[in-house]
Amino acid sequence: MRFRDHDEREFAVDKVVNSALRTANLTRHNVAALDWAVNEITDNVLTHAKSKVGGFIICNKISRQNIIEFAVADCGLGIATTLGVDDERQAVELAVQEGVTRDKSTNQGNGLYGTYRLGLASSGVFVLKSKHGILYVNVDGETHVRRNTVPFRGTYLVCQVDCSNPDLIDRAFVFGGKAHSPAFDYLERKHEGDIEHQIVVKAQDICKTFGSRKSGEEARQYIVNLMNCYPDRELILDFSEINVISSSFADEVFGKLFIELGPMHFMRAIKLRNTGSAVEGLVDRAIRLRSQTGI
């Protein structure tokens, strides 16, 4: 996804965290860590790079592992130029150190440092390329800095966030010797207006389509993540504007959740709102059939 200004950047960050919530098992800490790092790195593009084409971000889940990987690239000035360092190899090495910034009066120099630490505390996958400089962490968790013969004309970063590591934030986000808990993540942005004991989600926000099992699987993952992040709240799924869903989608989401949670827990935790008669009938049928067959 491309971003050229602040609004596009915010939209892209939300899309990335949303897709992580649909595909991986996330705790509240994981959401905050991913949100923080993606915000920092995309903000760097707009703040420092002066990239004529803006920045690009992609994100995906590593298959069969609970790891989210994101990559951000720009075609801008490069780190050596903005830091005012001649050696491009030395520039990438400096940039991931705590407190290193081009301007101490306006910035803190935490963004690349915190993201690098997040990569280190995760599976160890972290790559930062800028012009001829490349810094990467190998599978043993060792950091190497090299001079690339073929330059990357801008800045490129890849980082993995291991969402099965419960100590991730504590290990990664230590600034000035103090632990830092990122505030105001995607979930807060989305749900700050919700009343205390509820979480209201638009059905469109939890999956791409309402037609396939794959999409249903993502919607179920999103719902499970929300229930884990807000265990004391009731989840209201708003189906306004959704006129029909496929039977396989209904089964994948509601049939399976009903069996997984059990009837009482399901009914206590999840409410469907603004469902038309077609959607209601399909959900009813999916739950009935699933109850007969089990998982």
Ligand X SMILES: Nc1ncnc2c1ncn2[C@@H]1O[C@H](COP(=O)(O)OP(=O)(O)OP(=O)(O)O)[C@@H](O)[C@H]1O
What residue ranges bind ligand X (CB under 6 A)? 40, 44-45, 47-49, 74, 76-79, 82-83, 95, 100-102, 107-113, 155
Nearest residue to Mg ion by CB is: 111
Q: Which stretch binds Mg ion (CB under 5 A): 83-91, 108-116, 143-151, 242-250?
A: 108-116
Residues composing the chain? 295
What DSSP state is assigned to residue 158? E
Is 44 a binding residue for Mg ion by CB under 5 A? The answer is: yes
Q: CB-side exposure of 233: number of CA atoms within 13 Å?
A: 20
172 binds, among ligand X, Mg ion, none (CB under 5 to 8 A by kind): none
123 binds, among Mg ion, ligand X, none (CB under 5 to 8 A by kind): none
The span from the CA of 259 to the CA of 242, in Å, is 24
Q: Between 6 and 273, whose beta carbon lies closer to ligand X?
A: 6
The span from the CA of 61 to the CA of 259, in Å, is 26
**Structural element, H or E, at residue 275:** none
Return the residue matching tokens 């690009």. Answer: 56
Q: Between 101 and 221, whose beta carbon lies closer to ligand X?
A: 101
Sheet architecture: strand order including 198-202: 198-202, 234-238, 270-273
Q: Between 44 and 165, whose beta carbon lies closer to Mg ion?
A: 44
Residue 111: CB minimum distance to Mg ion, A = 3
The span from the CA of 42 to the CA of 68, in Å, is 16
Q: Between 79 and 206, whose beta carbon lies closer to ligand X?
A: 79
Q: Between 112 and 227, whose beta carbon lies closer to ligand X?
A: 112
100 binds, among ligand X, Mg ion, none (CB under 5 to 8 A by kind): ligand X
The span from the CA of 287 to the CA of 22, in Å, is 21
Residue 90: CB minimum distance to ligand X, A = 12
Q: Are 72 and 34 in contact (CB under 8 A)?
A: no
Interface characters, 66-105, with Mg ion (x: CB under 5 A): ----------------------------------------
Nearest residue to ligand X by CB is: 111
Return the residue matching tokens 């012009």. Answer: 131
**Structural element, H or E, at residue 51:** none
Token pair of 245, please? 């869903």
Interface ranges with Mg ion (CB under 5 A): 44, 111
